[in-house]
Structure 1
Amino acid sequence: MDVRQLEYFLAIVDHGGFNRAASALYLSQPSLSQAVRTLERDLGSSLFHRIGRRVVLTEAGTALIEPARAAVRSLETARASVAAVHELREGRLDIAAMPSQAVEPLTTMIRSFSGRYPGVSVNIRAAFTPRGVIDMVRTGAAELGLLAAPGPISPVSDKEVISHAAGEQRFVLLTPPDGPFAQDRAVACEELAGQRLIVGQRGTGMRAYVDGLRESGIGFTIAAETEHRVAILPLVLAGVGLAVVTESWRTTAERAGAHVLDIEPRTTLQIALVSRRAEQSPAARTFLACGLAAIDCS
């Protein structure tokens, strides 16, 4: 039994006979009759009494009407839902993102996408390292990923994942308003010697940067180490220490009252959107194009 046979059955019921139903369905009557005989054989029961040119529902036929209509409605609903997702009138898109990049450029990307496709919900999944983002995309936990890493990003070694360059972010220094450096100048990285720093977890670009400073001979004290990126700004404002972050935090930090200073020499993280090489959903394909275009224009 298939839904098409049920549609044929209901057409006979609604049009009052095989001839009218065949005309409405643009079928030949023999084809329609054959489809109904196949349905009856599958069900193990006759659905119509054939009286001359007239047909009358059997008890089994009468019992089939309601479930047949429910099945046809379910198929129509399924078709409409698939069409809505394909046309981006509704649906959901899962994106894995590292914390700093979830501030920017992800905000700009989502604003551009949601402005055009408000019916699609974007679900942001947390990942704390580039490998974590790539693994979530590779395994299907997310369709797209946004990550940052020092130097060129090349997840192409993973045959299932491909990267798309999405710009870069430089490192900046967060200080409290009464911090040790004037607000209107850049800070040389050597000037961080002797300072108390708030750092993130190992495996992130920000942590790699400060670890690199220590390896180059610049001594500092780790005042606090946190996996919670949102805790860094409050800790800075509370006077616990200074923090090296990416410039994605600049607007938020300045609005909160912190000072944001460039660090020299300029050092950056490379940003990338990553996606599976396999077929993507319409929402993922569109977000990828829309997001990359949005940051090119920003």
Structure 2
Amino acid sequence: MDIRQLEYFLAIVDQGGFHRAAAALYLSQPALSQTVQALERDLGSALFHRIGRRAVLTEAGEALIEPARAAVRSLETARSSVAAVHELREGRLDMAAMPSQAVEPLTSMIRAFSGRWPGVAVVIKAAFTPQDVVDMVRTGAVELGLLAASGRPPDKDVSAHLVGAQRFVLVAPPDGPFAGRESVDCRELAGHRLIVGQRGTGMRAYVDGLLEREITFTIAAETEHRVAILPLVLAGVGVAVVTESWRVMAERAGARVLDIEPTRTLAVGLISRRTGLSPAAEAFLKTALPVHDS
């Protein structure tokens, strides 16, 4: 067994099949299949059920994912440690971020980090709930994660570094309801059409909480694609409760952003593994956090 075989195995898992993995790795599919077959012979167990063009993980394949990621990450850490001698002139940092926090504060964090270490590429992977972020960090799919959660960011099996808080705001079309207003009471959302995100997110929990308080409204659209919310608002489909990270972008696009009273916030946290961080991840934490407290 070698690292290359594990990297190919993980590529098939992450890409969802042999064909896509081969394209991502710039390999022929037969070459990829032969490498995986060699790994299976070495392990004495099949890793995939091959059903037509689909590749479904066997129980042995499921068991291999986490140790394979740990092995690949350990090699990357070793490589990054060598690069650290050269002041991080090159390298890569994998991060996961929820959509709203990917707008801000991640933009400011990356700007500060890249200003000091321009040779290190920051690769951002999408995560849609706080648990997604934690799982991706815990399993080694990424080294760092940025999320927003009600209360203190979750820290089971990971380290949580509190970055700050983001309040909820209302985004409305320029000629829509609440014209001329700078704020709105949450009870005034009763009877309006709302665009909402998926369950498991803080923004969705907020609007679900309104229903629990018997503040009733119509769900005009429900979307897992956070980038669709602002276009839907501007098209007049409805209004949306989002975090303040969207304020600048929404206002530049022509939408109106109103504070919602009473103020409710989400805690924004930077998540990391407890041990074994690469020099790039350590440097990012030191740059992003006022006080680096691992």
Q: Deviations over 1:111-130 (max 9, x none)?
A: 00000100000000100000
SS in 2 for 1:163: strand
Contact 1:145 / 1:275 at 8 angstroms: preserved in 2? Answer: yes
> Which of 234, 239, 244 is the matching residue for 1:247?
244
Distance 2:244 2:131 in 1: 22
Q: For the pair shown, which has the larger CA radius of gyration, 1 or 2?
A: 1
Distance 2:286 2:80 in 1: 23
SS in 1 for 2:205: helix
Task: Name the counterpart of 1:100.
Answer: 100
Task: Name the counterpart of 2:138.
Answer: 138
Contact 1:147 / 1:273 at 8 angstroms: preserved in 2? Answer: yes
Contact 1:183 / 1:259 at 8 angstroms: preserved in 2? Answer: no
Task: Name the counterpart of 1:260.
Answer: 257
Task: Name the counterpart of 1:111.
Answer: 111
Q: How is 1:7-46 mapped onto 2 (pairs within 5 angstroms)?
A: none
Distance 2:280 2:223 in 1: 34
Task: Name the counterpart of 1:231.
Answer: 228
Cα distance, 1:81–1:241 mapped onto 2, change above 3 Å:
closer
**By how many angstroms is 1:183 displaced?**
3.5
Task: Name the counterpart of 2:16.
Answer: none
**By how many angstroms is 1:82 displaced?**
5.4
Contact 1:173 / 1:262 at 8 angstroms: preserved in 2? Answer: yes
Task: Name the counterpart of 2:187.
Answer: 190
Q: Which amino acid aligns with 2:162?
A: A
Task: Name the counterpart of 1:90.
Answer: 90
Instruction: Tell me the TM-score normalized by structure 2.
Output: 0.70
**By how many angstroms is 1:279 displaced?**
1.6
Cα distance, 1:201–1:80 mapped onto 2, change above 3 Å:
closer
- Runs of at least 4 residues off by over 3 Å: 79-83
Task: Name the counterpart of 1:177.
Answer: 174
Task: Name the counterpart of 1:6.
Answer: none
Q: Which amino acid aligns with 2:82?
A: A
Contact 2:162 / 2:268 at 8 angstroms: preserved in 1? Answer: yes
Q: Which amino acid aligns with 2:188?
A: E
Task: Name the counterpart of 2:281.
Answer: 284
SS in 2 for 1:166: strand
Is it true that 1:204 corresponds to 2:201 in the alignment? yes
Distance 2:148 2:142 in 1: 17
Task: Name the counterpart of 1:270.
Answer: 267
How much is the aligned-residue C-alpha RMSD, in angstroms? 1.6
**By how many angstroms is 1:227 displaced?**
0.2
Q: Deviations over 1:178-200 (max 9, x none)?
A: 01103442100000000000000
**By how many angstroms is 1:256 displaced?**
0.2
Distance 1:162 1:253 in 2: 32
Q: Which amino acid aligns with 1:149?
A: A
SS in 2 for 1:182: coil
Q: State which drifts further: 118-127 or 180-189.
A: 180-189
SS in 2 for 1:128: coil
Point out where structure 2 has 5 or more consecutive residues left out of the alignment: 1-77
SS in 2 for 1:174: strand
**By how many angstroms is 1:278 displaced?**
1.3
Cα distance, 1:278–1:80 mapped onto 2, change above 3 Å:
closer
SS in 1 for 2:290: helix
Q: Which amino acid aligns with 1:83?
A: V
SS in 2 for 1:113: helix
Task: Name the counterpart of 1:33.
Answer: none
Q: Which amino acid aligns with 1:291?
A: A
SS in 2 for 1:293: coil
Q: Deviations over 1:21-54 (max 9, x none)?
A: xxxxxxxxxxxxxxxxxxxxxxxxxxxxxxxxxx
Q: Deviations over 1:225-271 (max 9, x none)?
A: 00000000000000000000000000000000000000000000000
Contact 2:193 / 2:238 at 8 angstroms: preserved in 1? Answer: yes
Q: Which amino acid aligns with 1:103?
A: V
**By how many angstroms is 1:85 displaced?**
4.2
Percent identity reads 71
Q: Deviations over 1:194-238 (max 9, x none)?
A: 000000000000000000001101000000000000000000000
Q: Which amino acid aligns with 2:284?
A: F
Contact 1:133 / 1:147 at 8 angstroms: preserved in 2? Answer: yes
Task: Name the counterpart of 2:147.
Answer: 147
Contact 1:183 / 1:261 at 8 angstroms: preserved in 2? Answer: no
